[in-house]
Amino acid sequence: MTAVPPPVITIDGPAASGKSSIARRVAQHLGFTYVNTGNMYRAMTWAVLEAGVDPQDAEAIRAAAAGITLESPVVEGKTQVCVCGSALGDDELNSDPVNRAVSLVARVPEVRERLVADQRALIALGPLVMEGRDIGSVVFPDSPHKIYIDATEEVRASRRSAQGHADQVAERDRIDKQRTTSPLIVPQGAIVIDNSHITLDEAVGQVLAALHLP
């Protein structure tokens, strides 16, 4: 008999929609491993910038990325991101230079193909709550547990400003939606939850109710 793969809950959505906070809480509630795939792209972006690469130069990104090693060890129920053996923290992953460049690095097809393969391999960890921008559409399109978290542009911009970040969510959305490889879309079969004006507890409750898991 073919082994049944562990469940993967996919949570997608645009920048600052609240999907990370929601996904983390859902994973804690279910006892699943939480995977923030955005941090994998941020780690790659950080490494590319550290190498002195222009984020507008796709060919240079492609060449630099080939020599960058990423690992995703699990610490306290969630994956961390290590670049060439060194763990990155919030200061590196959420710096303004990374915020401004991450969509540019993430749109390079070879970067996405490599990280999608890395994300799929994480199924070996067991049941997952994986959030990002193409999880239900590309990484695990056959998952029966798909959620899309949305919020208005005004609310998302306000959240980013409150976090002290200067990136423009509208521009990041435009790049992510228009890229040719794995664009940001509502995955087929996903349940859409508007997180503009509800509390975190309410959003988590709606996700758990929509999943119909034991």
- The reply to whether 28 falls in a domain is yes
- For the full predicted model, state whether its pTM sits above 0.85: yes
- The reply to whether 1 falls in a domain is no
Check residue 167 and give its pLDDT: 63
Average pLDDT, stretch 137-165? 89
- The reply to whether 3 falls in a domain is no
N-term to C-term CA, the chain: 24
Q: What is the CATH number of the domain that holds 85?
A: 3.40.50.300
- Show the domain range for 89: 8-211
- The reply to whether 144 falls in a domain is yes
Q: How many domains does the chain have?
A: 1
Residue whose structure tokens are 């995703």: 72
**Per-residue pLDDT tens over the stretch 86-128:** 999 999 999 989 989 999 999 999 999 999 999 999 999 999 9
- The reply to whether 167 falls in a domain is yes
- The reply to whether 71 falls in a domain is yes
Residue 138: closest CA among 7, 12, 41: 12
Residue 16: closest CA among 167, 199, 204, 156: 156
| Residue 213, pLDDT above cutoff 80 | no
